[in-house]
Chains A and B, each alone.
Chain A
Amino acid sequence: MSVGFIGAGQLAFALARGFTAAGVLAAHKITASSPDTDLPTVSGLRKIGVNFTVSNKETVKNSDVLFLAVKPPIIPFILEEVGPDIEPRHIVVSCAAGVTISSIEKKLSTFCPTPKVIRCMTNTPVIVREGATVYATGTHADVEDGKLLEQLMASVGFCTEVEEDLIDAVTGLSGSGPAYAFTALDALADGGVKMGLPRRLAVRLGAQALLGAAKMLLESEQHPGQLKDNVCSPGGATIHALHFLESGGFRSLLINAVEASCIRTRELQHVADQEEISPAAIKKTLLDKVKLESPSLSLASASKVSLFTSKSKKN
């Protein structure tokens, strides 16, 4: 089986790195393409032995499983460009936040009657094989196609199938989740430094504490509330600290964050479905690069393509 990545950014790199480290796929069976050869991830991909090309068509030809690893605004361009080359054997996996299966199927169906589409939401820790991934299968994707993807993604972390309507919530929770954790870790380290620890040690200990806690929770039958209680000796240090967290509305902040990310994802999808947005909304250099590689796209057709207005670069 060969895997291709349209896009050679953070996501493609993280997945390629994870797959090869897991031994589930040899590097030479992976192809990645991007018009932008200056990306730091491009050299990273080359280093691990992935075939890099500037031609998306080449990636499609050399893949059975095709990951669309570009930013959501670029998806429509990509689909226009590679649509003609999609064959019944291809499994098209979109990792783009907020892009629905139906929007992808609609675009591809002008080229291919029964495109196999799977929508996937993963997260950056796939790079260290501790990713959290969910997927939803499209109309023409079989159970085996889903299982194939699941096998791939399970090699780089946790992977399970869900109904598509849950994917935005997953984005809010585990898609954005690592960012919440990095923020927390940065702050925890600050706390350590304030109380006298050297920065490096503080970061190391903070990260290990969260890693250990997460591992305990995953391996335990107990409720996190119970695990928390187990740490809090009466009148001790921890309960004093927790009181501060509660006073600051720690829990509600986290709930707010997940909610905000999920709602934003839905907003972006809404905007995408509107289908009539000017190309001026995309960063011009990006659009130029994409058009350079897609001679089939005229300016006229580009202006009718559905796009996001968002300036956000990540999920």
Chain B
Amino acid sequence: MEASELWVGFVGAGRMAGGLARGLLKAGKVPASNILASAPSDKNLDAWQELGCRTTHCNLEVVHRSTLVFLATKPHTLPGVLEEIRPAVGPYHIVVSLVAGVTIQTLQRLLPPRTKVLRIMPNLPCVVQAGAMVFSRGSNVGDEEAALLKSLLSSCGLCEEVPESYIDIHTGLSSSGVAYVYLFAEALAEGAVKMGMPGALASRITAQTLLGAAKMLLETGEHPAKLRGDVCTPGGTTIYALHQLEKGALRATVMDAVEAATNRACDMAKD
């Protein structure tokens, strides 16, 4: 199936759905006119119309007029939505759920048998096409569909297929992980302000520092410990600062955070 012939639908039109759509459009993967999004109110749909996408209040319409259907509702509304669209779902549909905590097993149970179902966990920076996404396939999905999804979503950032058990870990690492970075960024800037730098400048420099460090990690492929060592001149400023971070057991705290978020994701999925 050629991506340009693809009709893509979004059930739910919130930030995450919008981010993915933006990515598809920016990469020229799918023409805007081929994208249809539904939402109960107009609140979110304006942004889609500005992009040139089509919008509707009818979920069924999205399913009727799309081959690739993204489910992007809140977890508590999903069961109702699935019940609603189930009659319209056929064997040619590819259903991709972005809904946190809803397992492939649940999705397959609530949709017709033999439906091609995939589950994806994105993160917020998808909205600026620098996201990290993992997806898993259901029992009826073949390599072709998985490859199609991966190729489409790579326009929004890193996109990898994983066993479903990794999805909760991805939540703890990267979906929630973005918030840890924001917290760290805030603290860095605050430190600079304490030392006398104006806040706005400190924030801009902080963001660029994080961006640059991440870029080096991605582009050099070096181990972060090595890159850290490269920055530490003997007896210099960096090693003094790192000592402070170690004293505060930053590493363990971060590990605790990832663990807590992952466990919470697991618990929520069971509900």
Contact = CB atoms under 8 A, between A and B. Distances in A.
Interface of A: 222-226, 229, 243, 246-249, 251-252, 255-256, 259
Contacts of B255: 243, 246
B247 A225 contact: no
A263 B168 CA distance: 47
Given A223-B225, A251-B251, 9 more contacts: A222-B223, A223-B226, A226-B225, A246-B251, A247-B249, A247-B252, A251-B246, A252-B249, A256-B247
For the residues of B in contact with A, the DSSP-based class is helix
B218 to A, nearest CB: 17
Interface residues of B, number: 15
B249 A249 contact: yes
B172 to A, nearest CB: 13
For the residues of A in contact with B, the DSSP-based class is helix
A255 B243 contact: yes
B225 A252 contact: no
Nearest to A242: B255
A225 B224 contact: yes
A195 B251 CA distance: 27
A222 B247 CA distance: 25
Interface in B68-95: none
Interface string B222-244: 01111001000000000000010
A255 B226 contact: no
B225 A246 contact: no
21 contacts: A223-B223, A223-B225, A223-B226, A224-B225, A225-B223, A225-B224, A225-B225, A226-B223, A226-B225, A243-B255, A243-B259, A246-B249, A246-B252, A248-B252, A249-B246, A249-B249, A251-B251, A252-B246, A252-B249, A256-B247, A259-B243
A249 B247 contact: yes
Nearest to A226: B223
Contacts of A225: 223-226
Nearest to B259: A243
A226 B221 CA distance: 12
Interface string B20-38: 0000000000000000000
A20 to B, nearest CB: 36
A150 B118 CA distance: 66
Contacts of B223: 222-223, 225-226, 229
Residue among A222, A246, A255 with max Cβ neighbours from chain B (10 Å): A246
